[in-house]
């Protein structure tokens, strides 16, 4: 079943790779270059899953997660943090912000799809 997913990353190549993988699995994907752009896009339409980088200009992934969790429409939406950060303290901050999961870059397409399948309801 197709789900709507937003991928948020300041690196266009990473957005395209995530988008390509998810579209190949049959999902509808929208893209945003930072947290601010994502918030604007998400005010216009909801999604089933948010996949966001942590370190971005304008609004990072942790702040995006906090702001989304404060909105009733996104209180239960899965949010996956996608980052080069492997520091346990950052993971703790991510959980405290409301993140559902964490994927460390680099990752395989199979790993991304496995995490997506795990957090998305059928």
Residue ranges of the domains in the chain? 4-119
pTM score: 0.95
Strand order across the beta sheet in which 28-32 lies: 28-32, 4-8, 49-53, 79-83, 101-104
How confident is the prediction along the chain (122 residues), in pLDDT tens digits per residue?
A: 689 999 999 999 999 999 999 999 999 999 999 999 999 999 888 999 999 999 999 999 999 999 999 999 999 999 999 988 888 888 899 999 999 999 998 999 999 999 999 999 76
**Please, are residues 3 and 27 in contact by the beta-carbon 8 Å criterion?**
yes
* CATH fold for the domain made of 4-119: Rossmann fold (3.40.50)
The number of beta carbons lying within 10 Å of the beta carbon of residue 42 is 22
d(CA 2, CA 58): 31
């Amino acid at each position: 079943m197709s789900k709507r997913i937003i991928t948020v990353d300041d690196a266009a190549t990473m957005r395209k790779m995530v988008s390509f993988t998810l579209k190949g699995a049959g999902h509808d994907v929208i893209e945003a270059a930072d947290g601010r752009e994502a918030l604007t896009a998400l005010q216009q339409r909801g999604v089933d899953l948010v996949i966001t980088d942590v370190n971005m200009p304008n609004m990072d992934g942790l702040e995006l997660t906090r702001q989304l969790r404060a909105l009733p429409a996104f209180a239960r939406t899965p949010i996956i943090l996608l980052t080069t950060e492997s520091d346990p303290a950052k993971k703790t901050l991510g959980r405290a912000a409301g993140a559902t999961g964490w994927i460390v870059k680099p990752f395989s397409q199979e790993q991304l799809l496995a995490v997506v399948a795990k957090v998305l309801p059928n």
